[in-house]
Amino acid sequence: MRITEILAENSRLYRDEIALVERIPASETRKELTWHQFYTRACKLANALHYSGIKKSDTVVQLMTNSLEWLPIYFGILYTGAWAVPLNFRFESDKILLCANTAAPKAFIFGEEFIQRIAAIRSALASSVRLWIFTGHRESCPEWAYLFDDFVQDQQGHMPPDVPMANDDDAALYFTSGTTGTPKAVLLTHKNLTHACEVENSHHGQTHEDIFLCIPPLYHTGAKMHWMGSFLVGGKCILLNGVKPEWIFEAVSEERCTIAWLLVPWAHDILIAIENKTLDLSHYHLDQWRLMHSGAQPVPPSLVKRWQKYFPGQGYDTNYGLTESTGPGCIHLGLENSHLIGPIGKAGHGWEAKIVDKQGNHLFGNETGELIVRGPGVMKAYYKNPEATDKTLHNGWLRTGDLARYDKNGFIWLVDRKKDMIIYGGENIYPNEIENFFLGHEKIKDIAVIGVPDERLGEIPAGIISVKPDCMICENDIQQFQQALPRYKRLKKIFFGDVPRNPTGKIEKPKLRRLYAEDKRKDLQKLLR
């Protein structure tokens, strides 16, 4: 069954039941859609696009913040046989243009927040984009765009256009987050998307009665693919616009959410609010909340321990995945292993996993190597980038670029990103290990460790430290605390400042390297000339 067929089946089985709820706490707004409304809105857009000349294998960009309309629009694009191309809503004009030039979209659907960014590049896309479709308010609609409501108003919503589609057909382009460089276009098939539904449901056992709280951006595979486990069984989804701890707990309590996927920074903020007594758990109905799971970045063991202290009866899980693996789940810890704090798990439902050395030999024991995975979720290719595809895909195996190791029980531990590894005087240093150590400090809110160029040692580890609210800490405190680390792993440079993270919670280390390491690198290059 293709993912589009699941929506049609949910409309048939659960016609008037609520499928989606949007909560905007800042404006005290709450809206909802039934499964039938979800389906008919998707069909109306699909028919309008089809009538306007959008064909199978065309591309349609979707640039929107989370909203009640986001998922119906996404499925409407899929129903035409075209490829959905969701873009990061934080991209500025240059990144939008870069991605659009790769995707060559025939249609571009965008929200009110992006008018100026698109106006700046619209002429550069004139040879590709035939349809500009605006989802905002009528009075704000640019003269060069169709208002969404007008575009779809004359279309039927009882069924999508008759476009033959197979499971192996291409379905979507997702751009990587770009935390290690320029975003790459990941081509996914309908089979990839359907497998994501099956993986998530297999791992977390969602039933029709479960209610999923979705907070992360829908353009990213992480949030959407976690929701797809509930989508497979017609479970309700709550879309929350806002990440304040009290907003999250109000949504869980008032909507009776049973499952929530939280990025690490949000879980940190919740724990800080509880510890500072600005969040009183007794004010909320939480008995039904059966599962909190996290991922998208290494989850600090100290965070899990603190979370389990305040929510001892709640299931905890972690999932590992990439855009190239159609989101999370290729490595999975499992609810039955919630007591194991630290590993990311074993190969997930339908997946295989290995840790290999530079020659591709399978490593065992405690040796560190690259994690590779194989399964139905592996992307088809990096679109229009055969060189990167050849480097990443080998005989069906996906090279993740992440360093990992096995423990004695066969569980996989994530060590760090291959590109983030610091080589200090010939020693390999994994920033994630140092970051996890410092997150055990009661006054440290967040930390990023990067390599700073050094004339003698090649690179030295430097830490950018964010301090918890109402706390004070100095460099001497850091020096004393890190005496428990091996000497070569201790921070040689200490900076206090914000730790930037992208919408999926990953530390933006290229940005930090530009801020803290580039000047040093330029000085070193001058010295060596």
pLDDT of residue 456: 63
Largest separation between any pair of C-alpha atoms in the chain: 72
The closest alpha carbon to 100, from 180, 193, 175, 48, belongs to 175
For 53, residues 6+ apart whose C-beta sits below 8 A from its C-beta are 106, 130
The pLDDT of residue 393 is above 60: yes
Instruction: State the Cα–Cα distance between residues 48 and 80, nearest whole angstrom.
Output: 9
User: What's the whole-model pTM score?
Assistant: 0.84
Q: Domain residue spans in the chain?
A: 3-350+360-403, 422-528
pLDDT of residue 426: 60
């140092």: which residue's tokens? 434
CA 2 to each of CA 6, 323, 401: distance values in angstroms, whole numbers, following the listed order: 7, 19, 30
pLDDT of residue 107: 98
pLDDT of residue 342: 84
Domain 3-350+360-403: CATH superfamily, name plus number? ANL, N-terminal domain (3.40.50.12780)
| Kind and range of the H or E run holding 402 | strand 397-406
Strand partners, 77: none
Instruction: State the Cα–Cα distance between residues 435 and 432, nearest whole angstrom.
Output: 5
Is the Cβ–Cβ distance between 490 and 482 less than 8 Å?
A: yes
The pLDDT of residue 297 is above 80: no
Instruction: State the Cα–Cα distance between residues 413 and 434, nearest whole angstrom.
Output: 15
Is the Cβ–Cβ distance between 235 and 208 less than 8 Å?
A: yes
Decide whether 3-350+360-403 matches 422-528 in CATH topology: no
> At 519, is the pLDDT very low, low, confident or very high (cuts 50, 70, 90)?
low
pLDDT of residue 529: 43
- Interval 207-254: pLDDT, tens: 999 999 999 899 988 878 999 999 999 999 999 999 999 999 999 999
- Interval 408-462: pLDDT, tens: 999 999 887 777 878 776 667 888 889 989 998 999 999 999 988 876 677 899 9
Instruction: State the Cα–Cα distance between residues 87 and 97, nearest whole angstrom.
Output: 11
For 126, residues 6+ apart whose C-beta sits below 8 A from its C-beta are none
Domain 422-528: CATH superfamily, name plus number? ANL, C-terminal domain (3.30.300.30)
CA 502 to each of CA 63, 70, 447, 524: distance values in angstroms, whole numbers, following the listed order: 16, 20, 15, 30
Helices (H), 232-347: 245-255, 264-275, 301-310
